[in-house]
Amino acid sequence: MEPFAQFKNVQKSYDGETLVVKDFNLDISPGEFVTLLGPSGSGKTTCLMMMAGFETPTHGEILLQGSPINSLPPHKRGIGMVFQNYALFPHMSIAENLAFPLEVRGLSKAETEEKVAKALSMVQLTGFEGRRPAQLSGGQQQRVALARALVFDPKLVLMDEPLGALDKNLREEMQLEIKHIHEQLNVPMIYVTHDQAEALTMSDRIAVFNDGVVQQLATPDVLYEAPENAFVAQFVGENNRFIGDVVSLDADRCQVKVNGDSVIDCLPVAVTENGNHSTLSIRPERVVINPDEGSFPNIFEAEVKDVIYLGDHLRTRVSVCGNGDFVVKTPNAGGNGALKRGQKVRVGWSLTDCRALDA
Amino acid sequence: MKSMKLTTGKTLAGIVGLSLAAAAAQADTLNIVSWGGAYTASQQKAYHEPWMEQTGDEIVNIDRSANGLAGLRAQAQAGNITWDLVDMLPANAMIACDEGLIEPIDHDTLLKAAPDGTPPTEDFIDGSLTECFIPQIVYSNVIGFNSDAFPEDNQPFLMEDVFDVENFPGKRALQKAPINNLEWALVADGVPVEDVYDVLETEEGVQRAFAKLDTIKDHVIWWEEGAQPPQLLADGEVAFASAYNGRLFNAAVNEGQPFEIIWDNQVFELDGWVVPVGKMDKVRDYLEFATDTQRLADQAKYISYGPARESSAARVSTHAETGVDMKPHMPTYGPNFATAIQKNDAFWADYGDELSQRFNAWLAR
Amino acid sequence: MTQNDMGQAPVLTTADGLPLKTSLMRTTRRHRIRAFLLVAPLLLFLVVAFVLPILDMLKRSIENPEVHNHMSRTVEALEGWDGESIPDEPVFAALVQDLVEGGEARTIGTVASRLNYEASGMRSLIMKTSRRAGRIEEGPYKAAVIDIDEDWADVDTWRLIERESDPFTLSYYLSAVDMRYDAEGNIVDQPDYLKIHNALFIRTFWMSAAITGLCLVLGYPIAFLLANTPLRYSNLLMILVLLPFWTSLLVRTTTWIAILQQQGVLNDLLVGIGLISTDNRLQMIYNKTGTMVAMTHILLPFMILPLYSVMKTIPPHYMHAARSLGARPFLAFRRVYFPLTIPGIGAGSILVFILSIGYYITPALVGGQSGIFITNFIAYHMQTSLNWGLAAAIASILLFVVIAFYLVYNRVIGVDNVKLG
């Protein structure tokens, strides 16, 4: 299938000295929800602005439905956008805000009214037509912004950290609502956020940005289960790290010596030869405390530093193989809350759950 | 604590009092209000400097005579009179005197007799001494022109020429007030000099004067400060300018400007001192000195205004810096004086308000 | 909640039974006293330097004490006069007594000045009669006074004195709007040749409006640039905008004289490049053009600063949003950006307009005859004609008009919508 929108070798520099976006490539399929995830300053918002037309690529091409749009002004692109602070026009009522994109397109009054009413009902704000944005709560304003970006049936919708200003509960509610609307309308969306949980919840695919470069572009499960480098492993989800040197390497198994004496068996992902420096990544929920002898290739002595009770699960911080900050997450299945600080335990994990990544 | 405060207070008051008394015995500061520019400079040279040298007094010049009457009224209303002596025109002096803002003056007691013993009331120009007013000079409102503005064989010399924009093209700078302009309009229109004020008292006369001014209205730039007309002439902005004759003289003699004076139908009047109420004791000695025969004659060394004392007129000699003979530049010099108009203060005291408003309305039209 | 509900609601009390309001007042008293002490100096200053002078001005515009105070006997004797015939002997006797006493006390001059505003010639009539009245040894006074000046046999003279005997008068206000009392005491228009103030009021308002418009047109783009340029450039720009504030008003005004006069820089330039011939040098100063140019220059910062402070608070998102929603740049500006700057436009315009109405130095220096404002006449009546009552009346009218403008503005735009910074 031909991609709906494309970034092709896009580079962006503001000062002619440094690149904020280095060789960005992304194909977006029709109806796809793609998230650009990364810490602030990683170049993700710049990419979004280039798609919207507010920034011009220094190099490379951006295509929409197959045709380049580099020199097309923003108002001719037909792209809906939701801004971080909503950007609702404060001097217009909610209905006027929603009618704005329709009016500038010269729609008839009746058609405008109908579409506005439909969009408002979609975000469950029917009856708020005459209010001013300042009279609405943050969540309601967010819905209006969303409705406004959708009301004119855009080809593509861009969202720039739209939920950043909301509190946790509301944010989660809105994530589902946006997801729901996306499924309903089946319009492709590009979503920018620095919140990995949000990205995992909502996206079809996620592009993880760091330092102007896409570190990994993959579906949420692949990103979480099989991060390709240390940055992705660290940024997406919780992660335990060891740093060491490769001492033996096969096709599907390698051994890494950490902290001078401990040797850990792991899956080679980004190591190529003996002596390579490597970062090992183990998800906390994949570690087992006091496993049966011989059940895992990796079983080590550990000392409990503290145990945090979190309701549905327990976080046990232990010191193992010289790593004093190693976290083990265990589901609260009852009867396993007996660990005490200072207690000696064994921890173990499988080979495939321990990924040997780049240094 | 309390007693100490009291003592300190008393001591302070004592010191202040003592120093004030000492200052009074030694030297005074006189705040003298005058017209500024070349005129104040001539007073500084002829009166102030010799007086300060003689007594150690300090004299502060305040250039506020243009609004002298307003200042006197405001200070009297505020109950805080800071001016000690004011240089003023006789018409305003009359109003100030009627309103009790200034001291009445007994001229023969206050002022010095002429060197030959003639009492002041006989020595000063006839009729120039009024109830509260001591004249210093006779000055004149004249029209000056820039001789470069006209060909050598066609230089203006009559008042009619000023109103003749055909033969003497160029802008005219006139004072933004009805005084002088109405008189000149009438004489230029053929009214004999001696009938000017009688005609102006009639509605037809006023209409006639304004009608004549209408003929040059589009060619006029109106000035408000005495320093403006010489500047406008020098800049070439105007060809003619009405001005005080002394200012034109100074620009011509001191700065070498090519200015000439049309003496025809000059409007002359006096200018002199008035004493704000309550200040007589402070300025008595200065006034006696500054209005004696020699001082008035000295002033004429610096500016071409005629002394108001006949005994001084005889002593007028040459310009202090350039040595120019001053007599031909005086308003009272025979040939200059032939067609002169004496300003009628009583007329302007009565009709000034209305004619000013009418003049302003005419200007705005 | 209605009034009734409020009345029936129980009084809330604190735990120890004090009414809640009293308790609250007590706990915040110290705070309120401190707040008051902090504003007290300014309050005092405003009362002394602003409120009292304005009240004094309003009083002066209607007070008329001269005849009432200094000719009190005559005024008393005139009570019951029919207003049709020459008054009788007692009135003349009172007049002589007033004039003689007033002459000695030097108070009669103010009466003479006052009456002369109403009818030319009254000054000399009063002063002459005052000087000679002392020589009238005994009655009958009527004949003696009429002998001094036969204007005393004119009923209009007496009508004028009677009319002006009221300690308060409207005549200054009438004069300020080109009207007057006629000899019979009816309010009539001034004759055309004395009409001046109304035309000047109108000119002041329309020229101030034009200057405000010019400031807006010139200032808006600059404010926009200032608000949307990176800091290091906008600082420099801001200095350029504020530069006029650091130069004296007179210097700025006289600079315009040097530039705009007929022998000035601009005309020289135009002649130099052959656009006009030297005989046709443009008259750009000492007329309305001069006033407009110089005042716009002087008042421009007062427009730019409020505009800038409002534009600075408008995030770029709004324009981006409008563009992304499909609006062309100009439409996005007109529908979104411009309406958001209205508070700044309102603030700047009201500031410039009111300042402009009150300016008089600049019009006096560069306005010539056609470019002066009504304020120049306030100054004229203060300093030259010395008719302070008339000056106060004109100034009061100006004050009322500004207040009226403000109220209308408040109605239309709303003062809450004005942002000064």
From C330's Cα to the closest Cα of chain A, the distance in A is 11
Q: Is the peptide bond before B104 cis (omega within 30 degrees of 0)?
A: no
In this predicted structure, the answer to whether residue B5 has a pLDDT above a threshold of 50 is no
For residue A1, the model assigns a pLDDT of 62
Name the segment(s) of chain A with CATH classification 2.40.50.100: 238-357
Which residue has better confidence, C30 or B163?
B163
For residue B9, the model assigns a pLDDT of 43
For residue B15, the model assigns a pLDDT of 46
Residue B341 has φ and ψ, to the nearest 5°, of -110, 130
For residue C2, the model assigns a pLDDT of 43
**Matching residue, tokens 């009135």:** C91
**SS3 per-residue string spanning chain C:** CCHHHHHHCCCCECCCCCEHHHHHHHHHHHHHHHHHHHHHHHHHHHHHHHHHHHHHHHHHCCECHHHHHHCHHHHHHHCCCCCCCCCCHHHHHHHHHHHHHHHHHCCHHHHHHHHHHHCCCHHHHHHHHHHHHCCCCCCCHHHHHHHHCHHHHCHHHHHHHHHCCCCECCHHHHHHCCEEECCCCCEEECCHHHCCHHHHHHHHHHHHHHHHHHHHHHHHHHHHHHHHCCHHHHHHHHHHHHHHHHCCHHHHHHHHHHHHCCCCHHHHHHHHCCCCCHHHCCCCCCCHHHHHHHHHHHHHHHHHHHHHHHHHCCCCHHHHHHHHCCCCHHHHHHHHHHHHHHHHHHHHHHHHHHHHHHCCHHHHHHCCCCCCCHHHHHHHHHHCCCCHHHHHHHHHHHHHHHHHHHHHHHHHCCHHHCCCC
Q: Quick check: A87 and C332 CB within 8 A?
A: no
Share of chain A above pLDDT 90, in %: 67
From C366's Cα to the closest Cα of chain B, the distance in A is 11
State the virtual CA torsion across C342, C344, C348, C354 in degrees, nearest 10. Answer: 70
Average pLDDT over residues B86-97: 92
| Element containing residue A242 per DSSP (H, E) | strand A240-249
**Chain C interface mutation, best of A79, A91, A98, A115, highest count of C Cβ atoms under 10 Å:** A91
CA distance B302 to B41: 8
In this predicted structure, the answer to whether residue C390 has a pLDDT above a threshold of 80 is yes
For residue A335, the model assigns a pLDDT of 64
Q: C-alpha angle C193/C199/C203, rounded to 5°?
A: 150
B217: confidence class by pLDDT, cuts 50, 70, 90: very high
For residue B8, the model assigns a pLDDT of 44
pTM across the whole model: 0.78
pLDDT in tens, C122-152: 998 999 899 888 888 777 889 999 999 999 9
pLDDT in tens, B177-198: 999 999 999 999 999 999 999 9
Average pLDDT over residues B83-89: 95
List of chain C residues whose C-beta atoms are within 8 Å of the C-beta of residue B235: 261, 263
pLDDT in tens, C160-185: 999 999 999 999 999 999 999 988 88
Average pLDDT over residues B119-130: 90
Q: Quick check: B353 and C387 CB within 8 A?
A: yes
Average pLDDT over residues A215-222: 94
C420: confidence class by pLDDT, cuts 50, 70, 90: low
For residue B321, the model assigns a pLDDT of 85
Superfamily of the domain at A5-230: P-loop containing nucleotide triphosphate hydrolases (3.40.50.300)
Q: How far is CA C159 from CA B81, B288, C128, in A?
A: 37, 47, 20
- Provide the number of CB pairs (under 8 Å) joining chain A to chain C: 66
Q: Quick check: C120 and B353 CB within 8 A?
A: yes
pLDDT in tens, A104-125: 999 999 999 999 999 999 899 9
Residue A32 has φ and ψ, to the nearest 5°, of -85, 150
In this predicted structure, the answer to whether residue B19 has a pLDDT above a threshold of 90 is no
For residue A341, the model assigns a pLDDT of 87
A14 — contact with chain C (CB < 8 Å)? no
Identity of the residue in A80, A90, A105 whose CB atom sits nearest the CB atom of C324: A80
List of chain A residues whose C-beta atoms are within 8 Å of the C-beta of residue C320: 52, 54, 74, 81, 83, 87
B359: confidence class by pLDDT, cuts 50, 70, 90: very high
Could you give the 3-state DSSP secondary structure of residue A355?
strand
B193 — contact with chain C (CB < 8 Å)? no
Average pLDDT over residues A146-161: 94
Q: What does pLDDT average to over chain B?
A: 89
Identity of the residue in C109, C123, C368 whose CB atom sits nearest the CB atom of B350: C123
Q: Identify the structural domains of chain B with CATH numbers, from first to last.
A: 27-138+271-328 (3.40.190.10), 139-268+331-364 (3.40.190.10)
DSSP A165: T
Name the segment(s) of chain A with CATH classification 3.40.50.300: 5-230
Q: Quick check: A105 and C326 CB within 8 A?
A: yes
C6: confidence class by pLDDT, cuts 50, 70, 90: very low
For residue C122, the model assigns a pLDDT of 92
- Judge whether B129 and B299 are in contact, CB under 8 Å: no
Which of the other chains make 3 or more beta carbon contacts under 8 angstroms with chain B? C
**Matching residue, tokens 């600049």:** C362
- Judge whether B86 and B273 are in contact, CB under 8 Å: yes
For residue A337, the model assigns a pLDDT of 60
Identity of the residue in C117, C369, C386 whose CB atom sits nearest the CB atom of B70: C386
In this predicted structure, the answer to whether residue A355 has a pLDDT above a threshold of 70 is yes
In this predicted structure, the answer to whether residue C202 has a pLDDT above a threshold of 60 is yes
Taking domain A238-357, whether its CATH number is 2.30.110.10 is answered by no
C252: confidence class by pLDDT, cuts 50, 70, 90: confident
- What is the maximal distance between C-alpha atoms in chain C? 100
| Predicted interface score ipTM higher than 0.95 | no
Of C350, C382, C277, which Cα lies nearest the Cα of C60?
C382
